[in-house]
Chains A and B, each alone.
Chain A
Amino acid sequence: MNAWGPPGAGPVVHDPMTLPADDNVNSYTFCVELKGSQWFLQKGKMIAYYGAIEFNGVGHGRLDRLVRTSFHSPLHASDWVVAEGSGKMLLADRAFDVNSYDLDDGNLTIRSGNLLAFQPSLALKQSIVPGFLTLIGTGKFVAASNGPVVFMEPPIRVDPQALVGWADCPSPCHHYDHGYLTGVMGGLRAMTGLGGASREEHQFEFVGAGTVLLQSSESLMAEQASGALPQEPGVPGGAGVSGSRGQQAGAPRLPGQLGDLQRRFGL
């Protein structure tokens, strides 16, 4: 979409009538039309609005029922506001590409930093996968990405930084490629660190029916806190487990060393 219209014609000037309803104005801006309805949006993503729109923090007493029904991550509720009223509202996020998605009685899991806004007819829940949020139900939501989003059919293996989200895929899992670390040469490589790592040893693998959303670059958007997890045994990524995960501190790594890969592959 071109914000500048035909060449030589100058920028397109919008007024409340010509602004699209629930559609992209250009690839960086999305326009939401409110007719007495409500939208959830992340704090600070509204850039302009026409009409009478009220923005209330999610903790607002009147909205308690709404939060209960369509907002299931109470611990990060302070990052969200509810827009209510009638008019048109423009959403954008740091000049990243913005797209809207329609869910029809479906589910979609998305990286927490990428979600900008959603209709309350959708239910937002924390995903079991840490750092991701799942939207369930029917409605529209708006998400940002670094570069245009590409939809892919499984089976596919995706670089962790390029993944935006997935819909209906039952099996997001880790996949490790380390063929080049086996054999005599591979052993030498792993021991000396010579030759370095291809940095593509680790992917997310998706199989089964569904859709995988990719952004066209490996620059992640800043992660949004998706709320603390209950400290219970059996909760992945919960505070009780996090101590043993991640990189071990201390023992500085030699340059070119493969790091955690060696441990993962049992070398």
Chain B
Amino acid sequence: MAFREINSKMVEATVVPGQRLFSQRGAMLAYKGEVSFTPSLQGGQGGLMSMIGRRVAGEATPLMTVEGSGTVFFGHGGHHVHVIGLTGDTLYVEADRLLAFEGTLRQGTMFMGSQGGVMGMVRGQVTGQGLFTTTLQGHGSVAVMAHGGVFEVPITPQRPVHVDPQAYVAHHGDVRNRLSAALGWRDMVGRGSGEAFQLELSGSGVVYVQASEEKL
């Protein structure tokens, strides 16, 4: 794994020649050795079309390419950092939560409507993901930022997981998600519990939840 957690807010990455990393611009804290940071014009991987796609989708977080040989330390804004290792499956995460990821991962953009049609789009609005989200696929590791600590909740076919949309960080695996609304007359008259919308994730995989309801 290219990333090593030093403490809750900082990760260390080893850069070797021939392998590159992508990271959010301005997220480098320190480095040793000869490492270069180049602003990535395309905002990530793929050709010109992926770049345009990301711009349209609003998932074009300014990224930079990290190359060379040495050790780099990443951290950003005092947010907690969590390293997720991927072994062939797809991680769904908001682009602005990405601190750094390995160049071996394929980056893509997914339309929320493609998972559950109109309800998917509504879900995107409620979780603050918008209409699009970023996917990372392949073998490699990702450092994800969250407000407050992150914990993993496994999802098994028998046990769907309900997550507060604001505390949702990312998920991977074969997971279907849908927004469950528990709206009643109490919510209409302003006496609701404040938990009217929940994200229900079912299937098999892992969802990452932050210990805070504050968005990044």
Q: Is the CB of B77 within 8 A of A159?
A: no
Partner of B30, one of A162, A177, A180, A197: A162
* B75 contacts A218, C-beta separation under 8 Å: yes
Does B31 sit within 8 A of A, measured CB to CB?
yes
User: What are 25 A-B contacts defined by CB distance under 8 Å?
Assistant: A147-B7, A147-B9, A147-B75, A148-B8, A152-B30, A157-B31, A157-B32, A158-B29, A162-B73, A179-B36, A189-B41, A197-B39, A198-B26, A199-B26, A200-B64, A203-B30, A214-B10, A216-B6, A216-B7, A216-B10, A216-B29, A217-B9, A218-B26, A218-B75, A218-B77
Most B CB within 10 A of own CB, among A179, A201, A212, A216: A216
**Closest B residue to A195 using CB positions:** B41
- Which partner residue on chain B sits nearest A96 by CB separation? B78
Contacting pair B9 A216 (CB below 8 A) = yes
Task: Tell whether A156 pairs with B31 under 8 Å between CB atoms, given A194-B41, A199-B26, A216-B9.
Answer: yes
**Contact digits for B3-17, partner A, Cβ 8 Å, 1 yes 0 no:** 000111110000000
A147 near B10: Cβ-Cβ < 8 Å: yes
Name the prevailing secondary structure of the A interface residues: loop
**Within 8 Å of chain B (Cβ to Cβ): is A172?**
no
Task: State the CA gap A140–B8 with chains docked (Å).
Answer: 26
Number of residues from A at the complex interface, CB < 8 A: 30
Which of B32, B39, B79 has a CB less than 8 Å from the CB of A198?
B39
A150-B10, A158-B30 given as contacts; is B25 within 8 A of A196 (CB)? yes
Which of B36, B38, B75 contacts A162 (CB under 8 A)?
Answer: B75
Cβ–Cβ < 8 Å partners of A134 in chain B: none
Interface contact B38-A198, CB-CB below 8 Å: yes
A262 in contact (CB, < 8 A): no
Please measure, in the bound complex, the distance between the C-alpha atom of A201 and the C-alpha atom of B39, giving whole angstroms. 10
B36 touches A196 (CB 8 A): no
Contact A196 B30, CB 8 Å, known A216-B75, A218-B75, A218-B77: no
Q: Which residues of B contact A (CB under 8 A)?
A: 6-10, 25-32, 36-41, 62, 64, 73, 75-79
Smallest CB gap from B78: residue in A: A217
Contact indicator B36/A159 (Cβ below 8 Å): no
- Against B, the Cβ 8 Å flags (1 = close, 0 = not) of A207-221 are 000001010111100
Residues of B within 8 A of A189 (CB): 41
Q: Separation in Å of the B67 CB from the closest CB of chain A?
A: 10
Q: Assuming A148-B8, A200-B37, A200-B64, is B25 touching A214 (CB within 8 A)?
A: no
Contact residues, A182-204 vs B (CB, 8 A): 189, 194-201, 203
Q: Nearest chain B CB to A222's CB is how many angstroms away?
A: 14
Cα A212 to Cα B29 in complex, Å, equals 12
Residues of A with C-beta under 8 A to B29: 158-159, 162, 214, 216-218
Complex: chain B residue closest to A147, CB-CB:
B9
Q: A147-B75, A156-B31, A214-B10 are in contact. List 4 more A-B contacts (CB 8 A).
A: A148-B8, A148-B9, A198-B38, A216-B6
Return the chain B residue nearest A162 by Cβ: B29
Most buried by B among A147, A194, A198, A199: A198
